[in-house]
A = this chain, B = another copy of it.
Amino acid sequence: MAATIYDVAKLAKVGIGTVSRAINNSPSIKPETKKRVERAIKKLDYKPHVIARGLARKRSNTIAAIMPFYTGYFYHELLRGFQNVLSQREYDLIFYYADGPSSNQIYFDRTLREKRCDGVLAISIDVPDDYIEKYQKANLPLVLVDRDNPNIDCILVKNSSGAYNATTHLIGAGHKRIAMISGHKNSRPGQQRFEGFKQALKKHGLSFNPDYYITADQFGSSDELTKNDGFNAEIGSAAIEKLLQLPERPTAVFAAADILAFGAMRALDSAGVAIPSEMAVIGFDDIELASYMSITTMQQPMFDIGCLAINRILEKIEKKDTIIRMEQLSTKLIQRQTT
């Protein structure tokens, strides 16, 4: 059986309270007593039982992340960011795979009621307003990542200005007929990117042509076409096919995600349309695939977002910071071969 605080106390000939003070470096302990306790700890190879500690402290030192697991690189970098901060703190990360609204709800309830975690990160998923309220009532810190909501802390990229810059980049290259491809219309990031797209057109005196705005909901509802909220390669391809049938083709496409851009490029290749000379393509995200395929794109600083998100939630947990804050990071244009 593993040693407990009592064993340490007995060996060091002190009370259990003193052992506790030693391991939690409390200021009110004599340095030599602390030394003695530490020797006993080493001798017994004692390590505090985190669960018992959690019960006594009413804190679990655990953060829950509820997230889907779409594209690799995006989340890879995000997790690297999490771990980068977490590894120096005594916190663990519990991981819930968000598989759609109903499974999300299960996890919202679970985190709210089981008291297993001290804070929750909701990543790339929409949290319904009633749950936001529940989190607030339960006093359980919640931080949104890659989504925004005025009633709660969020950390995300400047979708609108990123899209604005992407579009401006195309306009700067001389394009006048620019299309946009996006996932489902109800995706918040998609909407925000669409806003930025329209603003850029307007700003440069180009009119918005509804035929040049293709979203996933304009197609079927097969699994292939609806997965990832319509942000997938199939939709990218389907969108291009539609655009190529237009009497007056666009000369450039802004894809609201790299994976859409990739699908678009595949369709352009099979149609024999040269990239970028006949059709320029710009993506969004900078996933691994984008660098492999040399896609020009707007990069999201996922690693930084990961660090910020964890730091923010730790602040809320440890400093009981109740201010609601939204942090927005800028995207960066990564110019490659498709524009």
Closest to A109 in B: B47
- Give the interface segment out of A14-22, A87-95, A125-133, A272-280: A87-95
A79 CB contact (under 8 Å) in B47, B71, B82, B97: B97
22 contacts between A and B (CB under 8 A): A2-B113, A47-B113, A49-B55, A50-B114, A50-B115, A51-B51, A51-B55, A55-B55, A72-B72, A72-B73, A72-B75, A79-B95, A80-B97, A82-B97, A92-B94, A92-B95, A92-B116, A93-B94, A94-B94, A233-B292, A262-B292, A289-B289
Please list the 7 inter-chain residue pairs (A to B) with the smallest Cβ-Cβ separation, ordered nearest first.
A72-B72, A47-B113, A83-B97, A51-B54, A95-B95, A50-B114, A50-B116
Is A339's CB within 8 Å of the partner chain B?
no
Given contacts A47-B113, A115-B50, contact A76 B80 (CB under 8 A): no
Over the window 66-104 of chain A, the binary record of Cβ atoms lying under 8 Å from chain B Cβ atoms (1 yes, 0 no) is 000101110110011011000100001111110100010
Asked if residues A2 and B115 are in contact (CB atoms below 8 Å), the reply is yes
Q: How many residues of A contact B (CB 8 A)?
A: 40
Asked if residues A80 and B72 are in contact (CB atoms below 8 Å), the reply is no
Asked if residues A51 and B47 are in contact (CB atoms below 8 Å), the reply is no
CA distance A2 to B137 in the complex (A): 11
Q: Separation in Å of the A112 CB from the closest CB of chain B?
A: 9
Is A60's CB within 8 Å of the partner chain B?
yes
CA distance A49 to B87 in the complex (A): 26
Asked if residues B51 and A60 are in contact (CB atoms below 8 Å), the reply is yes
Instruction: Tell me which residues across on chain B come within 8 A of A87, comparing CB atoms.
Output: 97, 103
CA distance A76 to B233 in the complex (A): 17
Is A323's CB within 8 Å of the partner chain B?
no
Is A241's CB within 8 Å of the partner chain B?
no
